[in-house]
């Protein structure tokens, strides 16, 4: 089955979404990430979506779910690299991504994770 | 109004990805700005998913259109599913029968310039959207 790779870096997990995800692939990522947070005892998750040229309500919901689930499992999630056109479209679509922490790029996202974990 | 169309099937979630990619190519070819391309592709993704989930024998028709010197992209999503009994309710933000966020119809309407929906219970649903350059 198709899967998006999850990299472990210290106590953080790193995901770079580089393909146009169909819905099942997004669902797989959601469940793989929650499993991996537990098995790797991760404290932070960084999701890079700079290669995504759209985020629709399904992907948006998945990002929100990952953020909520990781919080329950004592890990922080930061979504980084959203393209400006994607941000404009998301807001107009009606999705504010409430509860999802974001940063402009990977570097700033890592800073945010380090700071929040202490 | 002139249009040369491409018809794509919408049966599985992989078909939604193909529709997104073909709409992107058409929108770029018609000279839509990046933000407008992103809006119509996102709307297409929402409507294509609806067609796959709720419809049966769904298709997407992609057309380049021209009216009064303006160029644009028109998309028609059609299925032979159960239809929508209460269109007014279905168009409300947050209303869903499928367990999603309920933003598909209402959200995609906000993302395009023209939006038309026709539905008949037991016959099917047709949604047509247009984004002008």
Prediction ipTM score: 0.93
Name the band, by pLDDT with cuts 50, 70 and 90, for residue B60: very high
B107 and A22: CB-CB below 8 Å?
A: no
From the centroid of its chain, how far is CA B58? 11
The pLDDT tens digits for A40-57 are 999 999 999 999 999 999
Are A8 and A40 in contact, with CB atoms under 8 Å apart?
Answer: yes
What would the two tokens of residue B113 be? 């310039």
Query: CA–CA separation, A96 vs A109, rounded Å?
Result: 19
Q: C-alpha dihedral over B18, B23, B24, B25, to 10 degrees?
A: 90
CATH annotation of B2-132: 3.30.565.10
Work out the pLDDT band at A117, boundaries 50, 70, 90.
Answer: confident
Tell me, yes or no, if A105 comes closer than 8 A to chain B by beta carbon.
no
pLDDT at residue B99 in the model: 78
Q: How much is the mean pLDDT over chain B?
A: 94
Q: What is the pLDDT of residue B100?
A: 84
The pLDDT of residue B56: 84
- How confident is the model over B25-53, as pLDDT tens digits? 999 999 999 999 999 999 999 999 999 99
Choose among B10, B9, B12, B6: nearest CA to B24. B6
Among residues of chain B, what percentage have pLDDT more than 70? 97
| Mean pLDDT of the B91-112 span | 92
Alpha-carbon distance B12 to nearest alpha carbon in chain A (angstroms): 10
**What are the residue ranges spanned by the domains of chain B?**
2-132
CATH architecture of the domain with range A6-117: 2-Layer Sandwich (3.30)
Binning chain A into helix, strand and coil, the percentages to the nearest 5 are 45, 20, 35
Task: Give alpha helix (H) positions in A40-117.
Answer: 57-72, 84-93, 106-117
Q: Is the pLDDT of residue B1 over 70?
A: no
Predicted pLDDT of residue A88? 97
Q: Report pLDDT for B3.
A: 52
Q: How confident is the model at residue B78 (pLDDT cuts 50, 70, 90)?
A: very high
- Is the CB of residue A85 less than 8 Å away from at least one CB of chain B? yes
| Closest-CA residue to A43 (of A71, A63, A6, A17) | A71
Who contacts B30 (Cβ-Cβ below 8 Å, separation ≥6)?
Answer: B64, B71, B72, B73, B133
CB B112 within 8 A of CB B132: no
Give the model's confidence band at A9: pLDDT under 50 very low, under 70 low, under 90 confident, else very high. very high
User: Is residue B90 over pLDDT 60?
Assistant: yes
Q: What is the pLDDT of residues A44-92, one digit of tens each?
A: 999 999 999 999 999 999 999 999 999 999 999 999 999 999 999 999 9
**What's chain A's average pLDDT?**
95
Nearest chain B CA: its distance from A117 CA (Å): 31
List pLDDT tens digits, range A96-110: 898 899 999 999 999
Cβ A54–B41 below 8 Å, yes or no?
A: yes
């Amino acid at each position: 089955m198709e899967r998006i790779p999850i990299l472990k870096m210290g106590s953080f997990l790193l995901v770079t979404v580089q393909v146009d995800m169909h819905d099942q692939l997004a669902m797989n990522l959601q469940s793989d990430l929650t499993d991996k947070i537990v098995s790797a005892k991760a404290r932070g998750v960084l999701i890079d979506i700079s290669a995504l040229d759209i985020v629709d309500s399904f992907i948006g919901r998945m990002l929100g779910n990952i953020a909520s689930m990781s919080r329950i499992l004592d890990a922080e999630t930061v979504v980084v690299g959203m393209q400006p056109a994607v941000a404009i479209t998301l807001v107009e679509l009606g999705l504010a991504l409430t509860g999802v922490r974001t940063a402009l790029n990977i570097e700033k996202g890592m800073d945010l994770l380090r700071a929040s974990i202490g | 109004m002139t249009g040369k169309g491409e018809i794509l099937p919408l049966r599985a979630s992989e078909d939604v990805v193909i529709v997104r990619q073909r709409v992107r190519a058409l929108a770029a070819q018609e000279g839509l700005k990046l933000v407008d391309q992103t809006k119509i592709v996102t709307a297409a993704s929402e409507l294509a998913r609806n067609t796959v989930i709720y419809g049966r024998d769904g298709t997407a028709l992609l057309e380049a259109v021209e009216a009064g010197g303006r160029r644009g992209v028109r998309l028609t999503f059609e299925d032979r599913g159960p239809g929508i009994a209460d269109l007014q309710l279905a168009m409300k933000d947050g209303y869903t029968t499928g367990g999603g966020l309920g933003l598909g119809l209402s959200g995609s309407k906000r993302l395009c310039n023209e939006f038309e929906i026709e539905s008949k219970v037991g016959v099917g649903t047709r949604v047509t959207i247009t984004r002008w350059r």
